[in-house]
Structure 1
Amino acid sequence: MSPSNLQEPTATDGRTRPPQVPLSIVTCLYRSRPYLDEFLRQCDEAAGALGITAVEYVFVDDGSPDDSAGWVRQKRRERADIRLVELSRNFGHHQAAVAALAHARGERVFLIDCDLEVSPGFLVELWRRMGETQADVVYGYQEERKGGVLERWGGRVFWSAFNRLSDTAVPPSVVTERLMTRRYVQALLSLGDRNIFLAGMMYWAGFKQLGVPVRKLRRSGASTYNLARRLALLGQAVTSFSAKPLYASLWVGGVALVFAMANAAYVVVRKLLHPEATLLGFPTIVALLTAFFGVLMIGLGVIGIYVARIFVQTQQRPLYIVKHIEPSDVEPE
Structure 2
Amino acid sequence: MHAPQDAPIEGPRISIVSTMYRSRPFLEEFLDQSLAALAEIECRHFEIVLVNDGSPDDSLEWAVAKRAELPELVVVDLSRNFGHHAAMQAGLSLARGELVFLIDCDLEVSPMVLVDMHAKLLQTKSDMVYGYQEARKGGWVERRAGGMFYRVFNSMSDVRIPENMTTERLMTRRFVQASLELGDKNLFIGGMLAWTGYQQIGIPIPKGQREGASSYTFMRRLRLMVDAISAFSAQPLTLLFNAGVSITGLSVLYIAYLVARKILFDDTLTGFTSLMALVTLSLGMTTMGLGVIGIYLGKVYKQVQNRPTFIVRDVHRAP
Which segments of 5 or more consecutive residues in structure 1 lack a partner in the other structure? Answer: 9-17
Alpha-carbon separation, structure 2, partners of 1:256 and 1:281: 17
1:168-201: CA deviations, max 9, x gaps? 0001100000000000000011100000011000
Choose the corresponding residue for 2:286, options 282, 292, 296. 296
Alpha-carbon separation, structure 2, partners of 1:70 and 1:3: 35
1:213 aligns with 2:229: no
Aligned positions, number: 319
Aligned-partner SS, 1:221:
coil
Aligned-partner SS, 2:96:
coil
Contact 1:138-1:178 within 8 A present in 2 as well = yes
Deviation, structure 1 residue 21: 1.2
Cα pair distance change 1:207/1:47, threshold 3 Å: same
1:173 aligns with 2:145: no
1:319 aligns with 2:274: no
Alpha-carbon separation, structure 1, partners of 2:210 and 2:95: 26
Contact 1:3-1:22 within 8 A present in 2 as well = no
Q: Which amino acid aligns with 1:288?
A: L
The residue aligned with 1:12 is none
Alpha-carbon separation, structure 1, partners of 2:250 and 2:201: 48
1:60-113: CA deviations, max 9, x gaps? 000001111111111101121011000011100000000000110000000000
Deviation, structure 1 residue 282: 4.7
Choose the corresponding residue for 2:186, options 192, 195, 201. 195
Q: Please provide the CA RMSD for this pair.
A: 1.7
Contact 1:3-1:54 within 8 A present in 2 as well = no
Contact 2:102-2:170 within 8 A present in 1 as well = yes
Q: Percent identity?
A: 47
Aligned-partner SS, 2:48:
strand
The residue aligned with 2:89 is 98
Deviation, structure 1 residue 266: 1.4
The residue aligned with 1:262 is 253
Aligned-partner SS, 2:213:
coil
Q: Which amino acid aligns with 1:144?
A: A
Deviation, structure 1 residue 268: 1.8
Q: Which amino acid aligns with 2:295?
A: I
The residue aligned with 2:240 is 249
1:306 aligns with 2:289: no
Q: Which amino acid aligns with 2:304?
A: T
Contact 1:55-1:81 within 8 A present in 2 as well = yes
Cα pair distance change 1:6/1:149, threshold 3 Å: farther
1:270-301: CA deviations, max 9, x gaps? 233323x4421654443333222222122111
The residue aligned with 1:14 is none
Cα pair distance change 1:264/1:5, threshold 3 Å: farther
Q: Which amino acid aligns with 1:303?
A: I
Cα pair distance change 1:92/1:257, threshold 3 Å: same
The residue aligned with 1:15 is none
Structure 1 length normalisation: TM-score? 0.92
